[in-house]
Structure 1
Amino acid sequence: MLPLTGAAYLAVCAWSALALLPSVLAAVSCDRACLEGHISDFLAALAAHDPSTLPTTEDVTYVENGQTLPLGTGEWLVAGPPGKYRHTFSDPDAGQVGTITTLTENGVAAIYIVRLKLEPDGRISQIETQITRDPGGAALYEKMGQPEAVWLEAVPRDQRLPRETLIQLANRYYTGMQRNDPRGNYSFFDQDCNRLEDGLQTTNVRSGDAYGHSNDTVFASLGCEAQFQTGFLGFVTRIRDRRFPVVDEERQAVLAMTILDHNGTVRVLPDVNGTSSPIPPYFDVPRTLAATEGFRLRGDKLFRIEMTLIEVPYGMRSAFPGRSQGALSSPGTNGTTTKNPCDRECLLDVVGQVLQALLAHDHERLPLARGAKYSENGQFLAFGDGLWETASSLARLGDADDDAHAYAAHFADPATGTAAYWGLSREQTTPGVLALRIKVHDGQIAEIEAVDVRAESNGARGGSVTLMRPPLPVEWDGRSLGRLHESFQQGVVATNNTNPNTSSTPPGLVEAYFDAWERHSSRGVPFAPTCSRRDNGGVQGNLTCVEQMDGLGIAPNGLYNRTTTVRDRRLLIADEAKGVVLAVAMIDNPATGQAPLPATERIPSTYMVPQLIKVTDGSISRVEGMVKWMPYGYTSAWETSG
């Protein structure tokens, strides 16, 4: 799959670039050779899987693809030695250094970026890495062998622009890309400007190949300025957390790190090769890409650009936030307020209100409490963002008799004032399964939590697959899930074995279920003998829940035998009247099994797994689960928000 790559991302800047400078430049007595030595030592330690040889501070921060991890985990367990390509940016004044190189993960090539921050005493306090799983791009870099000579040339002192100006000019690139106005002033590009994306030149080349996810064959033949003048990149709706941590004044180069949001509202690509065309399916849904870009200036113009990127969950915050974070929630004072408790009927009515508001793209019609929170897939967003702009269809009870509309269920727990929904969704042309938790307090909605597992399809123009993620053993490409099993709609039926004083969803059941998943053993879980479960709509033959959990057949739980920690476990709702539990957790796969590993298990990964669990007579009788890939170590914002 070809990504719609970095040239495609630009931004309007709402602050002075001077405000983006580090408040204090570290007084580190480490020159270029010293900084490059730290990079070499780091890469050697990584290949040896031993961070203990590095001079780090006691509280060193280690970040991998946007996730803060303990040093020594993640890539430290799977990385091979670096390749021959190495492009290093050194900033002795700030005590920072970064490099673009390649390496292998369990034998598969990837592009690897690392940034180190040194304290005045020479110890490393920050390690920030980005791993772009693009074997083709890594191969291009290895073929190049080294950066173009101009990147490594020292500029005479009297011709150098100061740090502040270098940052200002680099930031104009993002100012121009964000919503890419074709009428903008793009004279900051040198007339001979060229750009690399994952090692591939994407300017001034006439290969006839389509650009990224699009079918446009002209864009890549244009120069940097002419590309921006097309407005083609306008699907990048916001560029935030713009950081310029490494400024190499001697070589007039900047290494920048930013986050690019695509909110899914731009539906047409402008005329470049003669005809405007619909946006590719990849951009049906909100997407966020984290990008690292090197800029080389010639005079006061951008002359060379080298970039690579990864996809992260939409709205994800940077571990080292810059400006323009955006609102986390909207206060919301709309609707009628009542102090009366919300009973079961009231809560189920709230579910309908929320679904209608999503389809109307209008959160203001809801009775939102002041300070109400909204999240999607573990990231807090402003009300009105994400699904609020892209939802086009939601299965609702009683809508129709066909399977698409019958895959839905509503739940309520009056004791906690919580309502929930599970059903088929659609954003533009992309189907998904949506789980919602809605918290009601004093007649107002205080929280809405959405987990949306979208279909991953290798269709036309790259389809809708999450950028550069590995395949799952059980994929869902949008095929019909049929009707949601009727047991999820039925109420609890009393039997001769039912104790009227016993909860229909026993305490500790969810913990026991996830404990069993973690140890790959059904021991201690009350599974009914005929219990069945499926992940992403896939059923593993005729295996029962016990047989799946114990690792018989293809793999336990529809995932892997080598998954480890099951964490961030959250009970979203327990509907006693229906005997249904909705829960979600994160499951880690460190990719540390014995070689050769299958393609599904070669890189460290985390899976977000919403689980709909039916309980009958105190035992789990059916499980409907979905699986969403996340960067390794991903944590829900609900876990860290208190």
Structure 2
Amino acid sequence: MVSQDLQDRRAYLGSYADRYFELLPSGGYRQLPIAAGVVFTENGQRLRLGQGLWATATGAARTRAVTVLDGPAGQIATWGMVTEAGHDAILGVRLRVDDEGLIDEIDTFVVRFNDMSSTFSGSGLLDAQRLARPAPGLLDLVDEGDRPSVAELRRAADGYLDGVSSGEAGLIPVADDCLRIENGVQTVLRADGLLPGRAPNPATAMGVAQQVREGVTRHIAVARDRGMYLTDPSRGLVMVRFFFDHPGAVRGWQGRSPFTGPNSMPAWEVFKVRGGLIRHIEAIIAWFPYGYRWAAEEQR
């Protein structure tokens, strides 16, 4: 069972995220309960609150695809659709609320599809309609007998990242029927073998572990700079922020590489874990310059 205190804490934190998205299109950041010295970042760069997307957003969805509440840590992370200059974008927001009820940390991740790297053909993966509503089943409570601990949640997330980046499928504690959704698009176990706007690709019909075993992820060199872990054992959820580094089609490369040139892929990824296995994955991803880092981490 989840204690009433923790339920109240979740509702309290959820109201902060709702208010953030509600105020964004008007630029009304001054109406947020902000602590003195609040740290605000957009895509890893420390900005003054009111800059970045706060100055350019023109709309935000009323409901969002993913929310992870870490009540004991006073943190919430959520993402959904926004509009900026007539373009769709995805906005991820992490808020930390102090004991006084003031927001003292804000991290945001804006996936702007018109700014995608020229090394990737097309505008990138996006299903805006799906990202505008909650992911089915993600917030369902996990039965206590199948409920993971905080340590087990973190191990599951790290096992996935280790396995995908090393090509070792055995490191990933994942169920065969696990779905992975990236920017709202299902990228595994697709019966049609197609991604929107792409040529047929048999890899999209494979499961998570099979893709790794078959070498589909071999273009990933490393999963680095992991951090911002949020955990909710009652719902079997863990979120982690990281980078995948892609060296590109380097000289002597054999086989398929989805990227011509080098780039780094920042991601916020959420895993739902039940009975020791990852059952569902939700992620938002973008393409940034190779070697990009969250510079703001060094300023804290």
**TM-score, reference length from structure 1:** 0.40
CA distance in structure 2 between the partners assigned to 1:430 and 1:505 by the alignment: 39
Query: Partner of 2:197 in structure 1?
Result: none
Cα offsets for 1:441-476 (capped at 9, x unmatched):
121101111112123xxxxxxxx244x621169922
SS in 2 for 1:508: helix
Query: Partner of 2:120 in structure 1?
Result: 471
Query: Partner of 1:370 in structure 2?
Result: 36
* 2:281 aligned with 1:615: no
Query: Partner of 1:410 in structure 2?
Result: 67
Pick the aligned partner of 2:146 from 479, 498, 504. Answer: 498
Deviation at 1:627, TM superposition (A): 2.3
Deviation at 1:391, TM superposition (A): 2.0
Deviation at 1:640, TM superposition (A): 2.0
Cα offsets for 1:70-101 (capped at 9, x unmatched):
xxxxxxxxxxxxxxxxxxxxxxxxxxxxxxxx
SS in 1 for 2:83: strand
* 2:234 aligned with 1:577: yes
* 2:139 aligned with 1:489: yes
Query: Partner of 2:4 in structure 1?
Result: none
Pick the aligned partner of 2:211 from 544, 548, 571. Answer: 548
* 2:105 aligned with 1:447: yes
Counting aligned pairs with the same residue, the percent is: 25
Cα offsets for 1:314-373 (capped at 9, x unmatched):
xxxxxxxxxxxxxxxxxxxxxxxxxxxx82221111111222221331111111111101
Pick the aligned partner of 2:47 from 339, 362, 381. Answer: 381
- Residues paired across the two proteins, number: 274
Contact 1:396 1:408 in 2 (8 A): no
Q: Which residue type is aligned with residue 626 of structure 1?
A: I
Q: Which residue type is aligned with residue 547 of structure 1?
A: Q
Q: Which residue type is aligned with residue 571 of structure 1?
A: M
SS in 1 for 2:235: coil
Q: Give runs of aligned pairs for residues 177-256 of structure 1, distance below 5 A.
A: none
CA distance in structure 2 between the partners assigned to 1:472 and 1:626 by the alignment: 18
Q: Which residue type is aligned with residue 634 of structure 1?
A: Y
Deviation at 1:589, TM superposition (A): 1.5
Q: Which residue type is aligned with residue 40 of structure 2?
A: Y
Greater share of helix residues, 1 or 2? 2
Q: Give runs of aligned pairs for residues 430-441 of structure 1, distance below 5 A.
A: 430-441=87-98
Deviation at 1:578, TM superposition (A): 2.3
CA distance in structure 1 between the partners assigned to 2:285 and 2:245 by the alignment: 12
Unaligned residue ranges in structure 1 (runs of 5+)? 1-341, 398-406, 456-463
Deviation at 1:409, TM superposition (A): 3.4
Distance 1:357 1:479, change over 3 A: closer
* Pair member with larger Rg: 1
Deviation at 1:532, TM superposition (A): 1.5
Deviation at 1:605, TM superposition (A): 1.3
Contact 2:68 2:238 in 1 (8 A): no
Unaligned residue ranges in structure 2 (runs of 5+)? 1-7, 191-204
CA distance in structure 2 between the partners assigned to 1:524 and 1:607 by the alignment: 21
Distance 1:582 1:504, change over 3 A: same
Q: Give runs of aligned pairs for residues 579-594 of structure 1, distance below 5 A.
A: 579-591=236-248, 592=250, 594=252
Cα offsets for 1:154-178 (capped at 9, x unmatched):
xxxxxxxxxxxxxxxxxxxxxxxxx
Cα offsets for 1:116-136 (capped at 9, x unmatched):
xxxxxxxxxxxxxxxxxxxxx
Query: Partner of 2:14 in structure 1?
Result: 348
Q: Give runs of aligned pairs for residues 35-50 of structure 1, distance below 5 A.
A: none
Query: Partner of 1:521 in structure 2?
Result: 168
Cα offsets for 1:552-576 (capped at 9, x unmatched):
6xx23xxxx2221211111342123
Query: Partner of 1:111 in structure 2?
Result: none
Cα offsets for 1:21-79 (capped at 9, x unmatched):
xxxxxxxxxxxxxxxxxxxxxxxxxxxxxxxxxxxxxxxxxxxxxxxxxxxxxxxxxxx
SS in 2 for 1:626: strand
CA distance in structure 1 between the partners assigned to 2:254 and 2:150 by the alignment: 47
Deviation at 1:606, TM superposition (A): 0.9
CA distance in structure 2 between the partners assigned to 1:571 and 1:593 by the alignment: 35
**TM-score, reference length from structure 2:** 0.81
Query: Partner of 1:295 in structure 2?
Result: none
Alignment RMSD (CA, Å) = 2.7
Contact 2:22 2:62 in 1 (8 A): no
Contact 2:236 2:272 in 1 (8 A): yes
Distance 1:414 1:480, change over 3 A: closer
Distance 1:453 1:543, change over 3 A: same
Pick the aligned partner of 1:601 from 256, 259, 275. Answer: 259
* 2:197 aligned with 1:539: no
Structure showing greater relative contact order (alpha-carbon pairs closer than 8 Å, 6 or more residues apart):
2
SS in 2 for 1:371: strand
Q: Give runs of aligned pairs for residues 96-495 of structure 1, distance below 5 A.
A: 343-397=9-63, 407-442=64-99, 443-455=101-113, 464-466=114-116, 469-471=118-120, 475-476=124-125, 480-481=129-130, 483-494=133-144
SS in 2 for 1:523: helix
Deviation at 1:396, TM superposition (A): 2.9
Deviation at 1:608, TM superposition (A): 0.8
Q: Give runs of aligned pairs for residues 57-76 of structure 1, distance below 5 A.
A: none
Q: Which residue type is aligned with residue 44 of structure 2?
A: G
Contact 1:351 1:410 in 2 (8 A): no
Query: Partner of 2:282 in structure 1?
Result: 624
CA distance in structure 1 between the partners assigned to 2:93 and 2:54 by the alignment: 13
Contact 2:24 2:59 in 1 (8 A): no
